[in-house]
Amino acid sequence: MKNKNLSRIILWAGIVLLIGLLIAGCAQKPEPVVEPPGPTPEELEQARQDSIQAAEEAMLAAQQAAAKKAAMEAEQALLAAEQAAKSSLQVIFFDFDRYNLRSDARTAADFDAGVLSKYGDWQVLIEGHCDERGTDEYNLALGERRANTVKDFFINYGLDAPRFTTVSYGEERPATMGHGEDAWSQNRRAVLVIR
């Protein structure tokens, strides 16, 4: 009997212990609060450096963008100026069956030479043309003489010969259609093509 009681006590004790353990297991034991360690002086310095670098980069990017924009604008302005210079090139006109430069043609050629001297990288094709009168063959030769006259003028002006090539179209590519001196005088010409 005594033995039976003992075992009953042990049983109950075991139950109580078990319950106690269960309760202890269920109850949230609060974590101990660990204060984070403060930034080290090195880290602070690094952050400072980083922020300076970021600021500097931003400033640089802004400067670069501004510079790029300015450069583009400048380039566009240059291109526009170059285009304007190209457009300003004058056509050089000739008399019938002639390839010498008359006075107005000399003025035009002189102006063109001035423009060409500013743009030393331009490669120049000089086209020689004739009016529709006369034979195709003689006109093809005459157009070439006109182109060569202009080329020689530029070389004498001091421009580099290798910049220039010539082509003659004779009477094949008139600037103006028509069969009268008005049209003819417009068609006897040398034209500069920049490439």
Nearer to other proteins, 166 or 187 (CB): 166
Cβ of residue 162: shortest distance to other proteins, in angstroms? 14
Residue 33 DSSP one-character state: P
Could you tell me the smallest distance in angstroms from the CB atom of residue 72 to other proteins? 35
The residue whose two tokens read 């430069």 is: 101
Place of tokens 């300076």: 52
Is residue 162 within 8 A of residue 143, CB to CB? The reply is no
Give the C-alpha separation, 152 to 154, whole Å: 5
In whole angstroms, what is the distance from residue 174 CA to residue 132 CA?
8
> Hey, what amino acid is at 176?
T
**Is 121 a residue that touches other proteins (CB under 8 A)?**
no
Among 115, 116, 144, 153, binds other proteins (CB under 8 A): 144
**97 makes contact with other proteins (CB under 8 A):** yes
Contact between 145 and other proteins by CB under 8 A: the answer reads yes
C-beta of 60: minimal distance to other proteins in Å?
A: 49
Does 136 interact with other proteins (rule: CB under 8 A)? yes
**CB nearer to other proteins: pick between 85 and 194:** 194
Helical residues (DSSP H) of the chain, grouped into ranges: 2-26, 41-88, 103-118, 136-157, 181-187
- For other proteins, the closer of residues 110 and 132 by Cβ is 132
User: Tokens 């004790």 appear where?
Assistant: 13
Nearest distance from residue 178's CB to other proteins, in Å?
12
Binding site for other proteins (CB under 8 A): 97, 133-138, 140-142, 144-145, 148, 166-170, 172
